[in-house]
Amino acid sequence: MLRISELTLPLSHTEEELNAAILDRLGIPAGELLSFTLFRRSYDARKKTAITLNYTIDVEVKDEPAVLARHAKTTNVGPTPDTSYHYVTRAPASIKKRPVVIGFGPCGLFAALILAEMGFNPIILERGKTVRERTKDTWGLWRQRELKPESNVQFGEGGAGTFSDGKLYSQVKDPKHYGRKVLAEFVAADAPPEIMYVSKPHIGTFRLVKMIQLMREKIEKLGGEFRFEQRVEDVLIEDGQIRGLTLNTGEQIEADHVVLAIGHSARDTFEMLYERGVYIEAKPFSIGFRAEHPQSLIDKCRFGPGAGHPILGAADYKLVHHASNGRSVYSFCMCPGGTVVAATSEPGRVVTNGMSQYSRNERNANSGIVVGISPADYPGHPLAGIAFQREWESRAYELGGGNYNAPGQLVGDFIANRPSTGLGSVEPSYKPGVTLGDLNPSLPKYAIDAIREALPAFEKQIRGYSMHDAVLTGIETRTSSPIRIKRDDHTLQSLNTKGLYPAGEGAGYAGGIMSAAIDGIRVAEALALDMMAQG
Ligand code: FAD
């Protein structure tokens, strides 16, 4: 197989034109080309009137050695590199001990899958319900203001990203191409095949729910055992080695190899681990609001006359502003054509986040507009970031009216520093509802000041961004974990607890679905090799 890169064509080209460009690049007649598959397709919209598509394509030709020899000095034609996944070991059929995976979000899912594929028969403990039951409970908060503390946007089968935009891109270094394995498994579980090649793949909520179920069934067939509604409440550590777990049912499980993939909202579990002496330190995260604008405004600004083209879809954006008080304000988890969702897991608190469907065809674009904060803002204790989050989330609940409404304000009013009294042209999508007013008391002053400065500054990057009627809802606090459960860089085990593999977003080693899934693969490999070494 040959790989051609940097093949550029206009946005609206035909299949024949793509075919012709491949032949032209390789310098072969049509009869020599056997087949081709897209490896990557991205767009370049810097010139809005001449948007182009950029391809990397894998090609089969009749005489590959001859074509390769002719292109020995061409940088964008060469042999296709091996990006397939290779297992690091295989468990013997006689293996008796079983590793335990705590949490079935993207990290736990891929840790469990890889362990199951290698023959280690993992036990998966998940505090929440199966994804179908969890969906009903999650909608219960959005429609009836009823929060189930163990079954919500954060907790349950599929983890935090199940009701999401399902963005699958990540900035993490991935020299072993684990991301390809993740995408291939998603496609095998019925994700849209295009996620294998588009530069910014996404899946959307409804599809994710079905995929999670199919992936659980696959792990079960491979020897994995699932236990839902089983929360790990305690850990048994002897001489710096994990020995067992206690569940909410009272049951005790022996375990000396445990993947800890509990996400960033398992505050009770963080507290328990800290009390048991597992090494934890505070880490930076971000706080802010969700901003909602008409999607058409974003599309027009990003794509000009190309707006609405099916290949481009709904436009996203990425914004950064360095404020004069030294804080950085940036867009976070931008959801094109989506909705703002209630994302608390604790009663009496309000947290926002965003999701979308695969079609991304809702009226509004939404994004977190958040300010970076660090342990200097919540000093004194490794878990102080959790107390900080709780304090502001409770305040948001009160400002919303004490009924899970989110406090909100129009962008124009927020910039002018006056309370909002009525909506304009942008209808906020947050359910159960938005209580308009003054967002000043909803976050620390340094964050309010920085966002107030950033919104007009973003106007330079997206014309119309500071439009009066755009809506801010608050608050965003669960942008990433407020702690890091530190691990050894080589063994990936906790710094002071052998056999415990802190992983994914909750442990501070991932930020998003893809990076959490990749981290799950990494810890599964390290754990499997350690089990094999111990015999
Ligand atoms: P989680 O997904 O949080 O999973 C942890 C699991 O552990 C949970 O299921 C929880 O119930 C379980 N658990 C916790 N404690 C215990 C315990 N004591 N015992 C047993 N089980 C336990 N990221 C993206 O990349 N793209 C997006 O579009 C995107 N959109 C998002 C939208 C929303 C609304 C939210 C909330 C998040 C979104 N994210 C998105 C972030 C993404 O979901 C997370 O980064 C990712 O899910 C982290 O994966 P994880 O496996 O580390 O943890």
Encode pLDDT of 366-389 as tens digits: 999 999 999 999 999 999 999 999
Helix, strand, coil fractions of the chain, as percent rounded to 5: 30, 25, 45
Confidence (pLDDT) at 122: 98
- Asked whether 141 and 347 are in contact (CB, 8 A), the reply is no
pLDDT at 474 over 90: yes
DSSP secondary-structure letter at 62?
A: T
pLDDT at 25 over 90: yes
Nearest to 159 by CA among 105, 101, 226, 215: 105
Of 429, 451, 476, at which residue does a domain stop? 476
Query: On the CB side of 166, how many CA atoms lie within 13 Å of its CA?
Result: 27
- Between CA 311 and CA 13 the distance in angstroms is 11
Encode pLDDT of 423-453 as tens digits: 999 999 999 999 999 999 999 999 999 999 9
Candidate from 270, 333, 356 with most ligand 1 atoms within 8 A of CB, to mutate? 333
- Other beta carbons within 10 Å of 160: 27
Shared-domain flag, residues 119 and 235: yes
Shared-domain flag, residues 465 and 490: no
Which tokens hold the place of 468?
């009066």
Characterize the bridge pairing of strands 123-126 and 100-102.
parallel
- Asked whether 333 and 353 are in contact (CB, 8 A), the reply is yes
Nearest to 213 by CA among 130, 127, 308: 130
Shared-domain flag, residues 389 and 370: yes
Shared-domain flag, residues 226 and 354: no
For residue 83, being part of any structural domain is answered with no
For residue 88, being part of any structural domain is answered with no
CATH of the domain at 25: 3.30.70.2700
Shared-domain flag, residues 195 and 245: yes
Confidence (pLDDT) at 165: 81
Nearest to 331 by CA among 296, 298, 377, 309: 298
Distance in Å, CA 105 to ligand 1 centroid: 5
Nearest to 235 by CA among 264, 278, 280, 282: 278
Shared-domain flag, residues 330 and 430: yes
Residue type (1 letter), 166: G
pLDDT at 358 over 90: no
pLDDT at 359 over 90: no
Q: Pocket around ligand 1: residues whose beta carbon is below 6 Å from it?
A: 102-108, 125-128, 153, 155-156, 159-161, 163-167, 231-232, 261-263, 266, 269, 333, 341, 343, 353-355, 504-506, 510-514, 516
For residue 364, being part of any structural domain is answered with yes
What ligand 1 atom has the least distance to the C-alpha of 513? 25
Candidate from 126, 207, 522 with most ligand 1 atoms within 8 A of CB, to mutate? 126
Q: Which residues pair with 124 in a beta bridge?
A: 101, 226
Candidate from 253, 431, 513 with most ligand 1 atoms within 8 A of CB, to mutate? 513
For residue 174, being part of any structural domain is answered with yes
- Asked whether 392 and 442 are in contact (CB, 8 A), the reply is yes
Shared-domain flag, residues 452 and 403: yes
For residue 95, being part of any structural domain is answered with no
Tally of domains in the chain: 3
Shared-domain flag, residues 234 and 146: yes
- Between CA 78 and CA 59 the distance in angstroms is 10
Shared-domain flag, residues 468 and 331: yes
DSSP 168-236: ----S--TT-HHHHHHHHHHHTT--GGGGTBSS-B--HHHHHHHHHHHHHHHHHTT-EEEET--EEEEE
- Between CA 439 and CA 437 the distance in angstroms is 7
pTM of structure: 0.97
Q: Please state at what angle helix 205-221 crosses helix 106-117, rounded to 10 degrees.
A: 30
For residue 347, being part of any structural domain is answered with yes
Encode pLDDT of 408-422 as tens digits: 999 999 999 999 999
Residue span of the structural domain in which 455 resides? 284-476
Distance in Å, CA 483 to ligand 1 centroid: 15
Shared-domain flag, residues 392 and 444: yes
Q: What is the mean pLDDT of the chain?
A: 96
Query: pLDDT-derived band of residue 297, with 50, 70 and 90 as boundaries?
Result: very high
Of 77, 110, 129, at which residue does a domain stop? 77
Using the Cα atoms of residue 12, residue 18, residue 24 and residue 25 in order, give the sign of their dihedral.
Answer: positive
Shared-domain flag, residues 261 and 366: no
Encode pLDDT of 161-218 as tens digits: 898 888 888 888 899 999 999 999 999 999 999 999 999 999 888 888 899 999 999 9
Q: Which residues pair with 8 in a beta bridge?
A: 54
What ligand 1 atom has the least distance to the C-alpha of 164? 32
Distance in Å, CA 159 to ligand 1 centroid: 4
Shared-domain flag, residues 354 and 464: yes
For residue 85, being part of any structural domain is answered with no
CATH of the domain at 202: 3.50.50.60
Of 476, 498, 524, at which residue does a domain stop? 476
For residue 87, being part of any structural domain is answered with no
